[in-house]
Structure formats: C-alpha cells, structure tokens
Amino acid sequence: RETSATQTNDVPHGVIGGALGAVAGGLMGYYMAIGLCETSGGCSGANAALAGAAIGAILGVGVEWLIRGA
C-alpha cells in the first residue's frame, strides 16, 4: 500500500514548479500589461500573459529542480 509521501515523490521533477510559475507569471504579465496600457481604446493583455506564463514556467521548473536537488 502506497503512502501519501510515496505518491508525492511520483510527480516528475519540474511539474509543480512549472505549473505554479506559469500561473503566477501569466497573471503578473496580464496585470502589468493592463496597468501600463495608455491607449484609450483598451488593451489586450493576452500576449503579455502568454509571455509571462512561459517565462514563469521556465523559472518555476528551475527553482523546483534546485529545491528538490538540495
């Protein structure tokens, strides 16, 4: 019978950090784009959210690898 500790270790390295980083980076990118928008017609934060999610995912994977490797 597997314990919860064993099941947690079955998650591949980088998945949790990548997911959390993507969400955090996407939200930060979106809100920064909306906050810096100076056009009167409105802005779309979609491109900034995608770029932030990609950067956040890469950083999240790296941080998780460092933490699990320590």
pLDDT in tens, 16-58: 899 999 999 999 998 888 888 776 566 778 888 899 999 999 9
Q: Are 13 and 63 in contact (CB under 8 A)?
A: no
Full-model pTM: 0.71
Q: Which residues 6+ apart lie within 8 Å of 29 measured at CB?
A: 45, 48, 49, 50, 51, 52, 53, 55, 56
**pLDDT score for 65:** 86
Taking 70 as the threshold, does the pLDDT of residue 14 lie above it? Answer: yes
